[in-house]
């Protein structure tokens, strides 16, 4: 029998995604194309790989055996590619990245698109979502997460940025209501706050004992989008507690003014996660290094 690797990646994606439709979505193919690819493999091997129903596809015993061998073969191929790639200076292939929507759009995507311009053979597949994806099961090369995280099984984690929160307001608001002098003044001011699923997020400020002081401002406006909060603050509708990277341009333009700027702001970490491998693909290493370098001043206004 002539050995062929055609369609092997599609077959593995069907197994890992749990069906033809989910694999088609992951691969940006039609369900029909995925089904035909698997059918061609079955015809070539002379076995049935899946028990098919109208709602699901379940591996046969032959399918389980073939899947295990395919995994080993693909891992060997990835190792070989990464070994060859390590001697190159140019990144090639597809880089599939998941990231939070706003932070990804404002901070991560511009860095990766710049990297793609520098490496014409690099393909980008960027996904923006607040969902905590499964790095390995969902087939991502790299995942960006805000806040604390831990190495899951088979994952590597690296801190790529720090994010600092700041209180700010428009000059028009401060002229009318005055500048808060202490944290205890904040509850007496109007604020535009972040509210999601019926929960209003308190404002947190680090204290000398390592704990955080929780402040709940008075608010008649709650949005679930930080950009909308920043826009409302510029319009003079109240104080806002936002990441420095989001309001940096407005502060430098003078449309927003830092409030209680001498107090330390809450700082949290942003991490990159990727599947553990004996040889890290050059495209992943370059992407992580570019993010670390470009996001170094993320805490600054």
Strand extents, DSSP E, the chain:
50-52, 57-59, 93-99, 122-128, 142-146, 155-169, 190-196, 199-200, 203-206, 212-215, 218-223, 240-243, 257-259, 267-275
CATH for 282: 3.40.190.10
Cβ count near 53 (within 10 Å): 8
Last residue of a domain, one of 60, 85, 110: 85
The pLDDT, as a whole number, for residue 79 is 65
The answer to whether 275 and 135 are in contact (CB under 8 A) is: yes
Residue 67 sits in the same domain as residue 129: no
Residue 276 sits in the same domain as residue 263: no
The pLDDT, as a whole number, for residue 134 is 87
Residue 195 sits in the same domain as residue 243: yes
Last residue of a domain, one of 36, 66, 85: 85
The closest alpha carbon to 165, from 188, 193, 144, belongs to: 193
Residue 35 sits in the same domain as residue 171: no
Task: Tell me, yes or no, whether 131 lies in a domain.
Answer: yes
Residue 109 sits in the same domain as residue 190: no
Residue 246 sits in the same domain as residue 282: no
- Any idea what DSSP says for residue 183? G
Question: Total structural domains in the chain?
Answer: 3
Task: Tell me, yes or no, whether 299 lies in a domain.
Answer: no
Task: Tell me, yes or no, whether 3 lies in a domain.
Answer: no
Task: Tell me, yes or no, whether 101 lies in a domain.
Answer: yes
- Any idea what DSSP says for residue 281? -
Range of the domain at 21: 8-85
CATH for 33: 1.10.10.10
Task: Tell me, yes or no, whether 141 lies in a domain.
Answer: yes
Helix, strand, or coil (residue 238): coil
Task: Tell me, yes or no, whether 284 lies in a domain.
Answer: yes
Residue 116 sits in the same domain as residue 208: no
Task: Tell me, yes or no, whether 186 lies in a domain.
Answer: yes
Residue 285 sits in the same domain as residue 141: yes
**For the chain (length 301 residues), average pLDDT per consecutive 10?**
71 85 82 88 89 80 88 75 63 94 96 96 95 88 88 85 96 96 93 85 89 89 95 97 96 96 91 88 94 89 83
Task: Tell me, yes or no, whether 2 lies in a domain.
Answer: no
The closest alpha carbon to 100, from 293, 270, 265, 299, belongs to: 270
Q: What is the pTM of this model?
A: 0.70
Q: At what angle do helices 61-85 and 282-294 cross, to 10 degrees?
A: 60
Q: Is 203 exposed, middle or buried (0-12, 13-18, 19+ CB in 10 A)?
A: buried
Residue 140 sits in the same domain as residue 171: no
The pLDDT, as a whole number, for residue 24 is 84
The pLDDT, as a whole number, for residue 256 is 98
Residue 137 sits in the same domain as residue 284: yes
């Amino acid at each position: 029998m002539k050995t062929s690797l055609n369609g092997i990646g599609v077959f593995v994606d069907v197994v890992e995604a749990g069906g033809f439709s989910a694999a088609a979505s992951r691969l940006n193919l039609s369900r029909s194309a995925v089904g035909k690819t698997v059918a061609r493999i079955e015809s070539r091997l002379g076995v049935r790989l899946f028990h098919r129903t109208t709602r699901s596809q379940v591996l046969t015993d032959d399918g389980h055996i073939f899947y295990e061998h395919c995994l080993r073969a693909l891992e060997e191929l990835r190792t070989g590619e990464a070994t060859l790639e390590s001697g190159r200076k140019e990144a090639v292939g597809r880089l599939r990245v998941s990231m939070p929507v706003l932070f990804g759009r404002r901070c991560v995507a511009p860095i990766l698109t710049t990297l793609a311009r520098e490496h014409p053979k690099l393909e980008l597949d960027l996904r923006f979502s607040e969902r905590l994806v499964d790095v390995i099961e969902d087939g991502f090369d790299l995942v960006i997460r805000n806040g604390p995280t831990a190495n899951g099984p088979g994952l590597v984690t690296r801190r790529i940025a720090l994010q600092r929160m700041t209180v700010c307001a428009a000059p028009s608001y401060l002229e009318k209501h005055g500048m808060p002098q202490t944290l205890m003044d904040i509850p007496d001011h109007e604020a535009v706050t972040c509210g999601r699923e019926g929960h209003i997020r308190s404002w947190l400020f680090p204290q000398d004992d390592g704990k955080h002081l929780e402040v709940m401002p008075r608010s008649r406006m709650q949005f679930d989008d930080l950009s909308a909060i920043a826009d409302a603050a510029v319009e003079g509708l109240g104080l806002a507690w936002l990441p420095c990277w989001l309001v940096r341009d407005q502060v430098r333009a003078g449309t927003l003014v830092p409030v209680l700027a001498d107090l330390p702001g809450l700082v949290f970490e942003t991490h990159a996660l990727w599947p553990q491998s004996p040889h890290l693909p050059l495209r992943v290493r370059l992407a992580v290094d570019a993010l670390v370098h470009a996001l170094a001043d993320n805490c600054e206004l």
